[in-house]
Amino acid sequence: MAFRDDMRRVRAIVWKDLTTERRSKAGFNAVASLGVTILVLFGFALGPDAQALRDAAAGALWLAVLFAGVLAFNRSYQVELDGGALEALLLYPGSRWAIFAGKVLANLIFVTAMLVIVVAVGLVLFQVTVPEDWGKIIGIMMLGVIGLVLLGTFYAAMSSRSRAREVLLPLLLYPMLIPVLLASMEATKAFLRGDLMNQAGAWAQMLGAFDVIFLVATFLAFEYVIEV
Amino acid sequence: MINSVQKSAPLLAPDLALDARGVARRFGARWVLRGVNLQVRAGEIVGLLGHNGCGKSTLLRIVATLLKPSAGDAYVFGANVKTEGDDVRRNIGFFAHVPGLYDDLTARENLAFAATMLGLPSADIDAALERVGLTHVTHERVRGFSAGMQRRLSLARLVLQRPRFLLLDEPYNNLDTAGIALMNGFIRELGNAGGAALIVVHDLATATPVLERTVTIREGRIAPATPDDAAHLAGSPEASVVPSGAAGIS
């Protein structure tokens, strides 16, 4: 019964976050624009060499998602801080993990939507041919996004009470994301090159393992970081 | 639920909405509260007075489980605020300085979200909006509301929740005369139904009609009432009287 109540709260938080985001629009437009801008800047930096662009595509794509994602994570708690809604949220009875789960799911949908735009632009800009087993590359990307969103949502909660949260979040998040980012980039790169050395599977397994570790750790620790 | 909580704290009187024992809190090196002892009985409406920065809001936030005390314990209907936060939150309604609403949701959606989070049926939302006089803006976004309307919507959330113990932090701010009457009516109704309230007030005259007693925080502790406090209460014909005729909370 309690679990069902918590699941109802999770759904309510997802609905609330997505509805406020859909209506304000500013957040998604800004985040997606930043992601695309970073890709374009990488394109300019690498020059017109098609092979160089293709080689750098995976790295550029994940860095664009990372930098734009930080904006999204900060914003997901900014909505709560405006008008003191975070305190109201914390005053509702029920498990704290329900708040975190709701935030993670809403951010997952948000970042995935942003990823679709960034990937579409990246494919054109970096002259990447879509591999035949594109289903696997989508799987890799989702594993990467799950790791990014879990840690991003967790550290955004941790830094949300700080006045310097915009600076604090990247400082906390980027070092912790190195394994996820590395595994995501290497797995994506391997797939884009046809996975001739059968490396992608190993990177994907590592990515899955990181996701499980981060999932357990963040859900267990959330209650303590959100308390004052 | 309450029975099981009372078993874990057998020394507590069962009719105490709040039992604060030596509650202290410091921010950095500065002690804001230095050992507050305060009891509020079920059905009692208590005003909390004190100068700016004396720790009134801090005490309320500790009781609401938003802050942890640095020392001491507080119990809400027998549940310890440090270790049984969820049981405390099931009994309290907190009315803060800020409205705690979502600007891009409508008035009705804000209440529907609160109802879902509280595990309450959404059938009472319209009645709550009608009670606070916001039926004409039910489907409008909160972003366009005045400060007073936002306070009324926060009050509607409490009406929907019907908590056993109200914690009100300067609840009359930004409310017009009708809004103040609504607030006082709700507090009276809660008191008549056996609920309790602890109200941080600066303008004592506004709250006097509902207050049964006041306590003052001075130098981090509960201080004896001064003649000024007594004069304020004595000046109101309704003071120390629990008004009759108000509908009870079902």
pLDDT of residue B25: 96
With a cut of 50, which residues of chain A have pLDDT below it?
none
A94 and B98: CB-CB below 8 Å? no
| Overall domain count for chain A | 1
Residue A61 tokens read as 């794509």
Residues B100-145: pLDDT tens digits? Answer: 999 999 999 999 999 999 999 988 999 999 999 999 999 999 999 9
Residues B150-161: pLDDT tens digits? Answer: 999 999 999 999
Q: List the B165-169 sheet strands across, edge first.
A: B92-95, B165-169, B196-200, B45-49, B213-218, B221-223
Is the pLDDT confidence value at B4 over 50?
Answer: no
B102 and A24: CB-CB below 8 Å? no
- Worst-scoring range by mean pLDDT, A40-44, A101-105, B11-15, B242-246? B242-246
Residue ranges and CATH numbers for the domains of chain B are: 2-102+169-234 (3.40.50.300)
pLDDT of residue B7: 40
Is the pLDDT confidence value at B237 over 70?
Answer: no
How far are the Cα atoms of A56, A148, B245 from residue A138, in angstroms, in the given order?
18, 15, 66
Question: Measured between CB atoms, which of B65, B92, B98 is closest to A83?
Answer: B98
Q: What is the mean pLDDT of chain B?
A: 87
A19 and B109: CB-CB below 8 Å? yes
- Worst-scoring range by mean pLDDT, A125-139, B85-99, B187-201, B229-243? B229-243
Residue of chain B nearest A78, judged by CA positions = B102
Nearest to B200 by CA among B187, B182, B181, B185: B187
Spatial distance between the Cα atoms of A90 and B68, rounded to a whole number of angstroms:
13
Spatial distance between the Cα atoms of A181 and B138, rounded to a whole number of angstroms:
46
Is the pLDDT confidence value at B63 over 80?
Answer: yes
Is the pLDDT confidence value at B6 over 70?
Answer: no
β-strand partners of B45:
B197
Spatial distance between the Cα atoms of A59 and A193, rounded to a whole number of angstroms:
13
Quote the pTM value.
0.87
Residues in chain B with CB shorter than 8 Å from the CB of A227 are: 68
pLDDT band at B244 (very low <50, low <70, confident <90, very high): very low
Residue pairs between chains A and B whose CB atoms are closer than 8 Å: 76
pLDDT of residue B162: 94
Domain containing A191 equals 2-226
Q: What ipTM was predicted for this assembly? A: 0.90
Q: List the B79-80 sheet strands across, edge first.
A: B30-41, B16-27, B71-76, B79-80
Report the DSSP pairing between strands B221-223 and B213-218. Answer: antiparallel
**Three-state SS across B113-162?**
HHHHHHCCCHHHHHHHHHHCCCHHHCCCEHHHCCHHHHHHHHHHHHHHHC
Q: With pLDDT > 90 as the criterion, what percentage of chain B qualifies?
A: 78
- B77 backbone dihedrals φ, ψ, rounded to 5°: 45, 45
pLDDT of residue A226: 86
Q: Is A16 on the interface with B (CB under 8 A)?
A: yes
